[in-house]
Amino acid sequence: MKRIVVALAVFALVAGSAFGQNVIKIGANWPLADAGSVEAANAAQLAVDEINQAGGVVGKKLQLIVVDDEFKGDKGIAAIERLVTVDKVDVLFGGYASGVQAAQIPTLKKYGIVTLATGAASSALVEKALGPSPESDFYFHLHPWDYEQGQSYVDGWNAIMQKYPNVKIKRIFLAYEEGAFGSSSFAASKALYANTSFVFDGASFKSAASGGSDYSGVLQAAKEFKPDLFIWGGYAQDAIGIAEQAKAMKFAPPIFVGAPPAWPADAPTNPLVQNEVAYGMWSPAINKISETSRRFTEAYKAKYGKAFTSYFAPLSYSGIYILADAIKAAGGTDKASLIAALEKTKYASPLGDTITFTPSNVIKHQGIKVQKIMQWQNGTQQVLWPFEAASANFVYPFSFPK
């Protein structure tokens, strides 16, 4: 297990035990082989640096300690054990894959440290394991659950069909990666569409993140289904391969949607993703309506020399500021006081949303509940819906470049 201390709050003439008394430790885990997770860790560190430069919180500096969970449940469990028992962190943060987070839940419950999770969308795996209040009240979840994501898309596509009468959606096919992330998304989508006028089906594939590379089987199943709306749910490593093989098979449905947590770095310049729809929480277009987003985008690029591509960057940046604001309001990291302060969160985030915590179907502290529908146009993701954040008109129907 790789253990990476992303930052140490070091200041003059303070060392040893005195240092430990003047720092608030935030322990995080992400799979650091994943580009979106690296961006999440970078963004969290940027927030820590900004807060420390402004004087810290309650007279103390913040320290972010990141452990690589390697996309593996056992590594994720070991990460929590190490952060809690060795590093003695005050709060837990981060997370990405649902399978890893689900494996961690018993350990998180054992220690009961206040946790602000940035990832894990699987309600069946993670939310079920957490359980209802009060046993899960230590846990605050930023990312929408899969059923919340699904409802967002139903609402969004219905609204788009009303705005654009030429857009017709009846048949929907979901190609999903066979792991926890994809399987839970398919199950939630199947339940969601069961009582609607849409005809829904899907099939699984082995993600390139797990060593896969052949998408022909799932694409052939989708082609035979003749969807009006095709969605693939996988990881950044799948984006170009799916597009290449779909084009080779002459499979170009009217709406072609990619729903990875992050896109590959070369996506903006790859013509294969032009006019592909993207599900997510942030795009550069948000900079036009959010000063917080614009400042964060510029600060990230200035610090790391390149732009980020995943919404996990502004999500994690938001999370650190939410924690810092709550610690300040609570006067420290006392568990009961910190939970009460987090419950009062009202943070205008660079995602373009104001984040608060309200009950979900299971837990008491759910953050974001709506995702955005966007489209790759001329190398950037333009927002299509919600309409109040829209930055471009919908290009329809989809086709691959010749």
Q: What is the pLDDT of residue 20?
A: 54
Q: Which residues contact 275 (CB under 8 A, 6 or more apart)?
A: 256, 375, 376, 377, 395, 398, 399
Count of CB atoms situated within 10 Å of the CB of 121: 26
CA 221/CA 370 separation, integer angstroms: 30
Q: Kindly indicate whether the domain formed by 3-144+288-355 is annotated with CATH number 3.40.50.2300.
A: yes
CA 183/CA 345 separation, integer angstroms: 32
Architecture of domain 147-286+372-389: 3-Layer(aba) Sandwich (3.40)
Nearest to 139 by CA among 360, 392, 295, 347: 360
CA 198/CA 303 separation, integer angstroms: 46
**What are the start-end ranges of the E strands in 142-292?**
171-177, 199-205, 229-233, 255-258, 277-280
Q: What angle do CA 79, 351, 253 make, to 5 degrees?
A: 95
Strand duo 115-117 + 139-141: pairing: parallel
**What are the start-end ranges of the E strands in 100-193?**
115-117, 139-141, 171-177
The predicted-structure confidence for 357-377, as pLDDT tens digits, reads as follows: 999 999 999 999 999 999 999
| Residue spans of alpha helices (H) in 270-394 | 291-304, 312-330, 335-342
CA 283/CA 285 separation, integer angstroms: 5
Which residues in the chain show pLDDT less than 70? 1-21
- Residue range(s) of every CATH 3.40.50.2300 domain in the chain: 3-144+288-355, 147-286+372-389
Q: How much is the pTM?
A: 0.88
Q: Which residues contact 132 (CB under 8 A, 6 or more apart)?
A: 362, 363, 364
